[in-house]
Amino acid sequence: MERVKKITKDNFYELVERLLANYQVIAPVNKDGRVFYEYISNSKEVDMEYKGHTLLPPKKFFFPEKEVLFTYEKLNGDIIIYDKVQEIKEGRRVFLGIRPCDIMALKSLDKVLISEFKDPYYQARRENTIIIGLTCNEPTKYCFCAFTKTGPSINEGYDLLLTDLGHSYIVSIGSEKGLTLVKLNLDLFEEPSEEELKERDEILKTVEKEILKQELPDLTNIYEAMLRNFNAEIWKEYGEKCLACGKCNYTCPTCRCFDIFDDPNLDFKSGKRVRVWDSCHFLSFTKVTSGEIFRKERPSRVKQRIYHKYCYSIYDEGSISCVGCGRCIDVCPAKIDIREVARKVVSL
């Protein structure tokens, strides 16, 4: 049976203030009309009324664009390593206002960075972060999560999940951590009525119906069409349009490619190891030590990204790795629309 509570908006902001006393809190913040996830210092900074999604996904708080993995120094003939993972493990965070598609994107990253390869930095951040999600009351122009089975309603991946009823939030409890958070603040929560639960369900159904008007194929089931059309002419068509800028990779909530380099200090006795995001659209991405580049042509790089989302990820993760957030469509300067690509592949 679903565990569910209700919290008024006044009480929700009181909850945020209480959380700030014990945790670092990340939340949606409005800056000049655009919303970004940021660390906050008081509840007044939080924008829980925002529409759609943030430009950059939550992944940057778990898998940063650039991070120092460890520093090192040569001391009395020994190499001393100062691993940042210990510092990360000591953190306690709450992440507010994550959309269902982005919550499912974190689940996708978990399959690779915890289940398969056990990245200690990512894993430490995931384990010390409480996820309080926020469902959408209306879709935006590029949303297509209903076709990737990652929204607008989900039943996993969160500790608490809020749905905005205007005057209050319905709160779905998704984990023991979430339940404990509610129990520690029982004075702020109350039982919802049957009418309020029905209102929550109607909101989510309406959002789904609106998204489904796009009449896309079921994107969780285009594997065979992708295999069949691996050598289709459309890849050349999109390759010629693509600028290979990498915006789609950097704004994608599930892309996880990275590069690592060592950055020595001038004394050559100390330095740091750094990890940075990389992009499969970059010419240098497949360059090896001999100088050979395995994907010199842009069509092959465009195809690689899309096949990874809808085909190769099925091998790696057991499911596609696109969550239908639409960020890649929103930021693409060449106006490449991954929904249109999927339609064409299926229709060939």
In order, the DSSP letters of 212-256 are HTT----GGG-HHHHHHTTT-THHHHHHHH-----HHHHH-SS--
Q: Which of 149, 179, 213 is the last residue of a domain?
A: 213
Pairing of strands 78-83, 66-75: antiparallel
Q: Which of 129, 43, 132, 119 is nearest to 91 (CA)?
A: 129
- The pLDDT of residue 92 is 97
Residues 127 and 245 in one domain: no
Q: Which of 152, 186, 213 is the last residue of a domain?
A: 213
pTM equals 0.95
- The pLDDT of residue 1 is 58
Residues 204 and 256 in one domain: no
Residues 175 and 268 in one domain: no
Beta pairing partners, 30: 35
Residues 183 and 44 in one domain: yes
Residues 203 and 244 in one domain: no
Q: Which of 189, 213, 237 is the last residue of a domain?
A: 213
Residues 150 and 293 in one domain: no
- The pLDDT of residue 276 is 97
Is the four-CA dihedral 132, 133, 137, 141 of positive or negative sign? Answer: positive
Residues 47 and 193 in one domain: yes
Residues 199 and 231 in one domain: no
Question: Based on the structure, what is the number of domains in the chain?
Answer: 2
- The pLDDT of residue 33 is 87
Residues 133 and 207 in one domain: yes
- Is residue 71 within a helix (H) or strand (E), and if so which, with residue range? strand 66-75
Distance of alpha carbon 118 from the chain centroid: 18
Domain that holds residue 91: 4-213
Residues 163 and 272 in one domain: no
Q: 277 with 250: CB under 8 angstroms?
A: yes
Residues 293 and 226 in one domain: yes
- The pLDDT of residue 206 is 98
Q: 5 with 189: CB under 8 angstroms?
A: yes
Report d(CA 293, CA 305) in Å as an integer.
17
Ranges of residues in the chain with a pLDDT under 70 are 1
CB neighbour list of residue 155: distance below 8 Å, 6 or more residues apart = 174
- The pLDDT of residue 76 is 87
